């Protein structure tokens, strides 16, 4: 009996440590178990453009420090991007507030002239408009193709990456992003 109690006393800290370790890992269920890459690096300080009431304003990712971001690179001519945009719009409607924001950064060369009609045609009502027509931010983020999404934590660190279209409005995506928000 004493041996069993002794072993239990030895294993208890190890069990607690394993639980703490697993709690420090993001929940990767469903599609995200295979499609999400955990990374940790600083976000670049490259300017891009935000369209605000028809006015183009220069911004950087540092302007959003304190918020969890889903940064998505896309273009109107990219078929998987077009397929993914309604899920991103729904995600912004579900989680978007002062703690979380979906930044969809268009790489279309004609900028707002090309993006605004696309939003109207596809009924995108919740997403803001961000532009990177020269692809400078996209290159700095070492993006290999479109669409590519990055999760950025409140401290401005890139913590995750998805290459290709993802089900961003799924329960698994919302669980993953809420984990970073907590």
91, 70 Cβ separation under 8 angstroms = yes
Q: For the chain, list the domains and their CATH numbers.
A: 30-181 (3.40.30.10)
Q: What is the pLDDT of residue 24?
A: 87
Distance CA 73, CA 145 (A): 9
Q: For residue 56, what pLDDT band results from cuts at 50, 70 and 90?
A: very high
Q: For residue 2, what pLDDT band results from cuts at 50, 70 and 90?
A: low
pLDDT (mean) for 68-72: 98
- 3 state SS for the chain: CHHHHHHHHHHHHHHHHHHHHHHCCCCCCCCHHHHCEEEEEECCCCCEEEEECCEEEEECHHHHCCCEEEEEEECCCCHHHHHHHHHHHHHHHHHCCCCEEEEEEECCCCCHHHHHHHHHHHCCCCCCEEECCCCHHHHHCCCCCCCEEEEECCCCEEEEEEECCCCCCCHHHHHHHHHHHC
pLDDT above 70 covers what percent of the chain?
A: 87
Is the pLDDT assigned to residue 14 strictly greater than 80? no
Q: How many residues does the chain have?
A: 182
pLDDT (mean) for 8-28: 56
pLDDT digits (tens, 9 = 90+) for 96-120: 999 999 999 999 999 999 999 999 9
Contacts of 34 (CB under 8 A, 6+ apart): none
Residue that has been written with the tokens 């041996």 in this structure: 3
pLDDT digits (tens, 9 = 90+) for 152-173: 999 999 999 999 999 999 999 9
Mean residue pLDDT of the chain comes to 91
């Amino acid at each position: 009996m004493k041996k069993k109690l002794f072993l239990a006393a030895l294993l208890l800290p190890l069990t607690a440590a394993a639980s703490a370790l697993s709690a420090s890992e993001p929940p990767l269920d469903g599609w995200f178990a295979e499609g999400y890459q955990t990374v940790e690096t600083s976000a670049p300080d490259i300017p891009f453009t935000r369209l605000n009431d028809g006015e183009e304003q220069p911004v950087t990712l540092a302007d959003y420090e304190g918020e969890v971001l889903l940064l998505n690179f896309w273009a109107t001519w990219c078929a998987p991007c077009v397929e993914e945009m309604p899920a991103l719009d729904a995600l912004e409607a579900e989680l978007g507030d002062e703690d979380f924001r979906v930044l969809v950064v268009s790489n279309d060369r004609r900028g707002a002239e090309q993006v605004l009609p696309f939003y109207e045609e596809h009924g995108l009502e919740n997403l803001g408009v961000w532009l990177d027509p020269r692809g400078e931010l996209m290159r700095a983020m070492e993006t290999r193709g479109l669409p590519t999404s990055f999760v950025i934590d409140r401290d401005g660190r890139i913590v995750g990456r998805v290459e290709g279209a993802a089900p961003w409005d799924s329960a698994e995506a919302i669980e993953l992003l809420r984990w970073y928000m907590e």
